[in-house]
């Protein structure tokens, strides 16, 4: 937990569409046990990027760590809904700013795909990525992603979301 908080303060965000704020970090710091409980048993609803409430699909969060050091995390959605079919997909991930450029995202996604093969009844997974995020596009392509579509980003007007499928 201390290392996770350090990552948040370094600029790591749990949501690629929204940065953490001093308040969101203080909330985690004030109740680490509650935060972990939420990770292990996620709530059935969530606040969408436009601030509205939406239903959450079942999900699993996997932390990528080196000993006691938090490096990044994978967010696995067990199935898609109408929003996730457009932006979000089955798998999201992020690496803390200080640990980028060492191949961690590529390794983390490869291990996440193994986790899905072993634990979920999915034959293929959708990953979506902003066209302005070349590092993430590379990570997806290195893991076998096939580009199938480019659509207007539903949460970021004027931007484009690329759709990639990875066969399992």
Ligand X SMILES: CC(C)(COP(=O)(O)OP(=O)(O)OC[C@H]1O[C@@H](n2cnc3c(N)ncnc32)[C@H](O)[C@@H]1OP(=O)(O)O)[C@@H](O)C(=O)NCCC(=O)NCCS
Instruction: Give residues in contact with ligand X (CB under 6 A).
Output: 16, 92-95, 100-106, 129, 133-136, 138-139
Residue 64's φ and ψ, nearest 5 degrees, are -105, 115
Considering beta carbons, is residue 28 or 93 the nearer one to ligand X? 93
CB of 158 to ligand X, least distance (A): 18
Beta strands in the chain (DSSP E): 45-47, 53-55, 59-66, 69-77, 91-95, 124-130, 146-152, 160-167
CB of 33 to ligand X, least distance (A): 26
Considering beta carbons, is residue 31 or 63 the nearer one to ligand X? 63
What is the CB neighbour count within 10 angstroms for residue 66?
A: 10
Considering beta carbons, is residue 3 or 133 the nearer one to ligand X? 133
CB of 18 to ligand X, least distance (A): 11
Beta strands in 22-136 (DSSP E): 45-47, 53-55, 59-66, 69-77, 91-95, 124-130
Considering beta carbons, is residue 2 or 101 the nearer one to ligand X? 101
Considering beta carbons, is residue 8 or 105 the nearer one to ligand X? 105
Beta strands in 7-154 (DSSP E): 45-47, 53-55, 59-66, 69-77, 91-95, 124-130, 146-152
Give the closest residue to 91 by CA, choosing from 111, 113, 75. Answer: 75
CB of 76 to ligand X, least distance (A): 13
CB of 52 to ligand X, least distance (A): 22
């Amino acid at each position: 937990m201390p290392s996770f908080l350090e990552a948040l303060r370094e600029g790591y965000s749990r949501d690629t569409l929204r940065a953490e704020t001093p308040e969101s970090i203080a909330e985690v710091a004030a109740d680490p046990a509650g935060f972990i409980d939420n990770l292990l048993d996620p709530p059935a609803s969530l606040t969408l990027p436009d601030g509205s409430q939406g239903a959450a699909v079942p999900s699993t969060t996997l932390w990528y760590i080196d000993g006691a050091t938090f490096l990044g995390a994978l967010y696995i959605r067990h199935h898609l809904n109408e929003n996730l079919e457009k932006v979000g997909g089955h798998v999201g991930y992020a690496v803390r700013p200080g640990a980028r450029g060492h191949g961690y995202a590529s390794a983390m996604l490869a291990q996440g795909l193994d986790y899905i093969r072993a634990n979920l009844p999915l034959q293929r997974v959708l990953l979506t990525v902003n066209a302005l995020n070349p590092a993430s596009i590379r990570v997806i392509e290195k893991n076998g992603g096939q580009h199938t579509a480019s659509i207007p980003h539903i949460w970021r007007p004027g931007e484009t979301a690329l759709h990639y499928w990875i066969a399992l």
